[in-house]
Amino acid sequence: MSATNDEIRIIAEPQMDARVCNFHVDRPLYDGIVNCSSKEMAQGSPLLEALFGLEGVRQVMVAGGTITVARATDDEWNDLARQIGGIIREKVKAGGQLISPEIKAKVPTNEKLRAEVQEVIDEELNPGLASHGGSVELIDVQGTTIFVTLSGGCQGCASAKYTLKHGIEQIIRDRVPEVTEVVDVTDHTAGANPYY
């Protein structure tokens, strides 16, 4: 059966943290990055409102064509992933704006934590990762959770998850104890050297 323009392909990629899963959609959903941490913040954005309507969803980040969903429990993703895929398809097919441009004004900032994490990335992490042709970039700070992407030799590397949990996250949390979670929102299926 040949693909049609109406088909929306979505690949779910559970992360090492069992409460987090990336959903890679075959088209852009948002021009930029938005991190939504509550139903109140989601109001006015049809895609985010629908995702926060699902039981257990506590955080949603949209970056281009990737949606990162964090939930309160570490149950299996099967049922929730199907529901998330259904919502994405429904909202994209409906057309119109998925995420309100006003949402940026609702995002709380934590500039002190951002600056401390950025310093660790610049002075400790990236010099070490550069020797392997890779780098890490701080994308967002939401509360005490930070969101990063891996690039260069780290994007798509078979060891990326191990590097994140046992290297990057450990160093960041040692140096900046306020950080409670580091979430990788990299699309490891894209780029010049994807291994996934």
From first to last of the 196 residues of the chain, give the pLDDT tens digit: 333 456 899 999 888 778 889 999 999 999 877 888 788 889 999 999 999 999 989 889 898 899 999 898 878 899 999 999 999 999 999 998 999 988 776 665 678 888 999 999 999 888 887 877 778 889 888 777 888 887 765 445 445 565 566 578 888 888 887 787 888 777 655 544 443 3
Bridge partners, 184 (sequence order): 148
- Greatest pairwise CA separation for the chain in angstroms: 53
Determine contact, residues 72/58, Cβ cutoff 8 Å.
Answer: yes
Contact 42, 49 (CB under 8 A): yes
Q: Map out the domains of the chain with their CATH numbers.
A: 10-106 (3.30.1370.70), 111-184 (3.30.300.130)
On whether the CB atoms of residues 146 and 168 are closer than 8 A, the answer is: no
